[in-house]
Amino acid sequence: MPISNTPRPATADDAPDISRTLALAFDDDPMMRWFLPDAASREAALGRYFTTLFTRQYVHHGVCERTGAAAAFWVAPEAQAKAVPDAESIEELRRILGDRADLFRDAVMTAAGHTPQELHWSLALIGADPAAQGQGHGARLLRSGLAKADAAGQPVYLESSEASNLPVYEHFGFTLREEFRLPGDGGPRLWGMWREPRT
């Protein structure tokens, strides 16, 4: 039986399902593999990582939506300053990342230096369970979030660490704004993408 791909608001009660979905979605992501190189522990660490970000950060200050097999976290311009980890969240992320925590800190600071200064919505992350890819989950979530940004008359910015995702985002109206590499030995590349609002 197909899993519903209709977007709906995500609440804190959805944390276990969302974290499991995102852990599966990002298991092969170059940036996550760089932060969490141990394959044996990566899925569990990713689950804790996404639980922390979702329950302590995005569910309070973002626009979080999910389907039966995917999730997306967006941040509107007025919430950007609040949608950052607090001290307790940072400490929990340090525990999850272990000896890679300093790399993570440097990566976050580097990416922040490339964030556009113009008012914009941010697509913080989007991911679908690989078992459900091709069923429209990610596309429906993208359209839903982009419609909100368009209704506000505001552009959208995202960063992708997967080159294969660039054509997908271009299909939804994004253009490549910048390419940069994260610091550290073997730091992955990120592609910053921008989309002007549509009426």
Which one-letter DSSP state was computed for residue 131? Answer: G
Tell me the pTM.
0.93
In CATH, which superfamily holds the domain spanning 8-195?
Answer: Gcn5-related N-acetyltransferase (GNAT) (3.40.630.30)
Structure tokens at 188: 């992955």
- For residue 2, the model assigns a pLDDT of 65
CB 161 within 8 A of CB 188: yes
Check the CA dihedral 73-76-79-84 and report its sign: positive
Nearest to 66 by CA among 129, 122, 121: 129
State the pairing for strand pair 156-160/121-128: parallel
**Cα separation, 139 vs 128, whole angstroms:** 10
The pLDDT, as a whole number, for residue 1 is 55
User: Based on C-alpha coordinates, what's the Rg of the chain?
Assistant: 16
The gap between the terminal CA atoms of the chain, to the nearest Å, is 36
Question: Could you give the C-alpha distances from 1 to 68, 94, 132, 140, in angstroms and in order?
Answer: 12, 40, 12, 19
How many Å separate Cα 93 from the centre of its chain?
Answer: 15
Residue 141 neighbours by CB under 8 Å, 6+ apart: 7, 65, 66, 67, 70, 71, 72, 126
The 10s digit of each residue's pLDDT in 88-124 is 888 999 999 999 999 888 988 999 899 999 999 999 9
Rounded to the nearest angstrom, the gap between the alpha carbon of residue 56 and the centroid of all alpha carbons in its chain is 15
- Write out pLDDT tens, residues 28-55: 999 999 999 999 999 999 999 999 999 9
